[in-house]
Amino acid sequence: MKFAAIKAQMGIWKYYVTTLTFEDISNCVSPIPKEISNSDSYTNLLQRSITDNVENIKEYILKQPERFFNSIVLAIYNGNPKWYELDINVEEYSTYSVGVFEITPGEEIIFPVYGQHRVEGIKKAIIENPDLANEKVPVILIGHQNTSEGKQRTRRLFSTLNRRSF
């Protein structure tokens, strides 16, 4: 699966900004796997229990023609994601931060760090209305490392995004 993206960095985080279809979200994004966490407390921290809010989000998607979401932050690890940088030159402006991001569904593990309720609402909505499959949602992809340090880093980002969304 290939999609256009913008590569950027803020602080220590390198990330890619793109859009994914509702179908891509449904097929490629899963709850945090237990093998990442090594503990139920970490799983509970990263994946708050899915609440009735998911049902409200599903209804919003199904019934609101003016629906719109802010970006969902997804962590990705394993597999072999590829970045194909494009050289953009327009008059005096030049950048290498635009490109094509490629993943192989099933090889990479992708889970939500911020937006898990929206992900589940999207999945439920396209079951009820498959015509929504090609709608797109903004996504920020970050790298996750399945190490002790990587888990701590992802925990801190989760906490920051969910408690201090500025």
Beta bridge partners, 17, equal 6, 140
End-to-end CA distance of the chain: 32
The pTM (predicted TM-score) of the whole model is 0.86
Beta bridge partners, 7, equal 16
From the list 36, 9, 6, 31, the residue with the least C-alpha distance to 120 is: 31
Token output for 20: 């994914």
Domain map (residue ranges) of the chain: 2-135+145-163
Token output for 79: 């597999």
Order across the sheet with 13-21: list the strands. Answer: 82-90, 93-102, 2-10, 13-21, 136-143, 72-77, 109-114
Per-residue pLDDT of the chain (166 residues; tens, 9 = 90+): 999 999 999 999 999 999 999 999 999 998 876 655 555 555 555 455 567 789 999 999 999 999 999 999 999 988 889 999 998 888 888 887 899 999 998 899 899 988 989 999 999 999 999 999 999 999 999 988 888 888 888 888 887 887 776 5
Farthest CA pair distance, the chain: 54
Q: What would the 3-class secondary structure string for the chain be?
A: CEEEEEEEEECCEEEEEEEEEHHHHHHHECCCCHHHHCCHHHHHHHCCCCCCHHHHHHHHHHHCCCCCCCCEEEEEECCCCEEEEEEEEECCEEEEEEEEEECCECCEEEEEEECHHHHHHHHHHHHHCHHHHHCEEEEEEEECCCCHHHHHHHHHHHHHHHHCCC
